[in-house]
A = this chain, B = another copy of it.
Amino acid sequence: MITFTQGQNMIEHDYTIKPIGVICCTLTTLDAAPRQGDEGAAEAWLEINGQVEEALGGITVGDELIVLIWLHLAQRDVLQLHPRNNLDIQLTGVFATRSPDRPNPVGLHQVSVLEIAGRRLRVAPLEAIDGTPIVDIKPVLKQVDNR
């Protein structure tokens, strides 16, 4: 039996994202950013803030990571849209789409580590515009290796 009132106060509480780094790449406009990696895989550098560099320890070339980014140019007040800007597709809630426009515009990207240079990681595929803040980095979980 679940009651639905207990957690209500949590909804009113905001939380602060302190970016751990920034995306460095050659894409500089929204128009140039492909929608998904398989439509135009791009490389990017993850430039991690020196204050959290220690948290990279253990990541090696070849690792598969999930990179969480903050889509700082997204519209946060969009709740429904036509997927892919296709008016032939009916209005859909943003939680049922991967649109960057959503209340908390966090983007998820599964990437491979191609190169590590100090606190900079070259990864692919990652579509984002240069200067996009990084929220978090996580390993992809494998059944046999839950680190």
What residue in chain B is nearest A131 (Cβ atoms)? B7
Whether A38 lies near B95 (C-beta < 8 A) is: no
Does A79 touch B at the CB level, under 8 Å? Answer: yes
What residue in chain B is nearest A89 (Cβ atoms)? B147
Residue among B59, B66, B98, B132 making CB contact with A141, cutoff 8 Å: B98
Residue among B56, B83, B132 making CB contact with A96, cutoff 8 Å: B56
Count how many chain A residues have C-beta atoms less than 8 Å from C-beta atoms of the other chain: 72
Separation of A33 and B83 alpha carbons in the complex (Å): 36
Separation of A137 and B45 alpha carbons in the complex (Å): 27
Contacts A104-B17, A104-B136, A136-B104 given; does A25 touch B2 at CB 8 Å: yes
Copies, count: 2
CB proximity of A62 to chain B, nearest CB, Å: 13
Set of chain B residues within 8 Å of A94, measured between Cβ atoms: 55
Set of chain B residues within 8 Å of A49, measured between Cβ atoms: 11
Whether A136 lies near B106 (C-beta < 8 A) is: yes
CB proximity of A37 to chain B, nearest CB, Å: 9
Q: Which 5 A-B pairs have the closest CB atoms?
A: A58-B96, A57-B93, A7-B22, A7-B131, A95-B137
Binding site for B on A (CB under 8 A): 2-4, 6-8, 10-11, 13-26, 35-36, 38, 45, 47, 49, 52, 54-59, 63, 65-66, 68, 70, 72, 79-80, 83-84, 91-98, 102-104, 106, 108, 120, 130-133, 135-139, 141, 143, 146-147
